[in-house]
Amino acid sequence: MSARKTSLTDKQAKNGTSKYVLERCASVNEYYDIAFKVMLLGDSSVGKTCVLVRFKDGAFLGGNFIATVGIDFRNKVVDIDNLKVKLQIWDTAGQERFRSVTHAYYRDAQALLLLYDITSKMSFDNTRAWLTEIHEYAQTDVVIMLLGNKADMTAERVVKTEDGEKLAKEYGVPFMETSAKTGVNVELAFLAIAKQKHSARKKHHGAAVTLWTHHPQGELSGSGAM
């Protein structure tokens, strides 16, 4: 399987985004019916990249690795209600110096996964600031889910599950605890927001919609559905 390089603008490169972003697809011949852009948000070191790698590749990115700089993304096609749904997942840097880069991508996101680390009280406390930014920069109909990551680290836990549930209820968003290491709830979280966004999309478009299918050759075909 080969990776295709996607060029970014010089401005994006200067802002901290790598000059080339690897678009990793499960197969170059995959097709999809609809696509949603998903962003991973949260403080640095909460495990955003590890969650993404677990979902995309089914692997755990253990050991030391370089923190995300700017924005990176991967694609994965999932099955939702007999449709091929492409999730274009943007992995963002949590450091403050990259926050302006992240803001620029909020407007295009259709779903957001906001992560905190259950072993870090600070990362949990900072979710309020992240939610404030989301409401300021993101679309009004964006789908949001709160994730308490590193659920496998029970001995080091400092944030109770009940605290995450309470915060999620306060902001009216769904909540799960995940573990990139064991894989618990990772796929479930991505599928949940995909289903929620697809359901909202169907309600928005009403009974009559046009379904555009992306074929491997890049052709588009449309069909009216009632």
pLDDT band at 200 (very low <50, low <70, confident <90, very high): confident
With 0.85 as the threshold, say if the pTM is over it.
Answer: no
Q: The domain at 24-225 falls in which architecture?
A: 3-Layer(aba) Sandwich (3.40)
Name the maximum alpha-carbon separation found in the chain. 54
Identify which of 175, 168, 202, 146 has the alpha carbon closest to the alpha carbon of residue 33: 202
Mean pLDDT is lowest, of 65-69, 81-85, 199-203, 206-210, for 206-210
Model confidence pLDDT, tens digit, residues 92-145:
875 555 556 667 788 899 999 999 999 999 999 999 999 999 999 999 999 999
Angle between helices 161-171 and 127-137 (to 10 degrees): 20
Identify which of 59, 125, 63, 66 has the alpha carbon closest to the alpha carbon of residue 91: 66
Specify whether the CB–CB gap between 56 and 48 falls below 8 A: no
Three-point CA angle 113, 116, 117, nearest 5°:
140
Bridge partners of 131?
none
Specify whether the CB–CB gap between 162 and 142 falls below 8 A: no
